[in-house]
Amino acid sequence: MPLEIPEVVIDRLPVYYRLLSRLQADGTAVVSSQELGLALGVTPAQIRKDLSYFGRFGKQGRGYSVQRLTEELRSLLGLKRRWKVVLVGVGRLGRAIASYRGFEPQGFDIVGTYDVNPEAVGSGADDIEVRSVADLQRDLTVGPVDIGIVAVPGTEAQAVIDVLVCAGVTAILNYAPIAAQVPANVEVRQIDPVLALQGMTYHLNRRAGQP
C-alpha cells in the first residue's frame, strides 16, 4: 500500500463502485476480477492491481465478496457520509443540474444555489431558492460547503471559482468551457460535452479517409 496512488487509479474506483452496487442490488454474492473486467471493458489484472493499492479484498480461488468490496469502496471514496454542494449558475444548464435526481441518492446534497440574477429563476414550478452570487462569499463563511458546481458562462467562471477557492472549497465540478486556474490543493473535474465530441470527430474525420 504505497503512499502515492496514481490519479488514474482513483478515477477508476467510482466506476468499479458503480458496477459493484448494481451487482449487490442484483443479489450477486461473489465476483471475480475476470467478470468485473468483462463488464467494464478493462483487463482483470488492472482491476486486481488497482484494488491492491488499498488492501487485499479478495479470496484466492473464489473472487471478491460483492458486499465486502462495495463497502470497502464506499469507505475509500468517502461515500459513508453526505457532502454539501453549492451550485453557482442557474440558467438553463444550472436548472437541469439542480433538478437532477442522481446526486442525492449518492450522498451529494445541493445546499445552496446562486446566480447573478436570482429573481429570473422563480419562473417555473421548481421550488429551489436562488440567492445572489454577491452573497456567496459570506454564505460560505457562515456555512462551509465541500464542493462547488460551476454552471455559469465561461466569462464569469474563473471569478466564481476564485470566490469558491478563497472561501475554502477544495473540490470543483466545472461545467463552464474554461480551463480553471486553481491552487494545487484544489480538485477540479471538467464536464464538457463539446470537448468530448471534438475528441471523437478527430477519429470520424480520419476514418473518412480510408473506409
Interface positions with DNA (CB under 7 A)? 6-9, 32-34, 42-46, 48-49, 51-52, 56-64
Please answer whether residues 88 and 149 qualify as being in contact, where contact means their C-beta atoms are separated by less than 8 angstroms: yes
For residue 159, the surrounding DSSP H or E stretch is helix 154-166
Note whether 15 binds a second copy by CB under 8 A.
yes
State the alpha helices, DSSP H only, in 27-171.
33-40, 44-52, 66-76, 92-98, 136-142, 154-166
Residues 134-173 within binding reach of a second copy (CB under 8 A): 146-147, 149, 170-171, 173
Confirm if 112 and 86 have CB atoms less than 8 A apart.
Answer: yes
Q: Which one among 43, 52, 132, 181 touches a second copy, defined by CB under 8 A?
A: 181
The 57-96 contact track toward a second copy, x by CB under 8 A, reads: -------------------xxxx---x-x------xx-xx
Provide the pairing of β-strand 187-190 with 130-132.
Answer: unpaired
Task: Choose from DNA, a second copy, none: what does 25 bind? Cβ within 5-8 Å by kind.
Answer: none
Sequence-ordered list of residues with C-beta below 8 angstroms from that of 133, at least 6 positions apart, any chain: 88, 114, 115, 116, 160, 163
Instruction: State the binding partner of 132 from DNA, a second copy, none, CB within 5 to 8 A by kind.
Output: none
Single-letter amino acid code for the residue at 54: F
**Distance (Å, rounded) from C-alpha 66 to C-alpha 50?**
16
Window contacting a second copy (CB under 8 A); options: 9-17, 24-32, 45-53, 130-138:
9-17
Q: Which among DNA, a second copy, none contacts residue 117 (Cβ within 5 to 8 A by kind)?
A: none
Judged by the rule CB under 8 A, the positions of this chain that interact with a second copy are 10-11, 13-15, 17-19, 39-41, 76-79, 83, 85, 92-93, 95-97, 99-103, 106, 108, 146-147, 149, 170-171, 173, 177, 179, 181, 187, 189, 191, 193-208
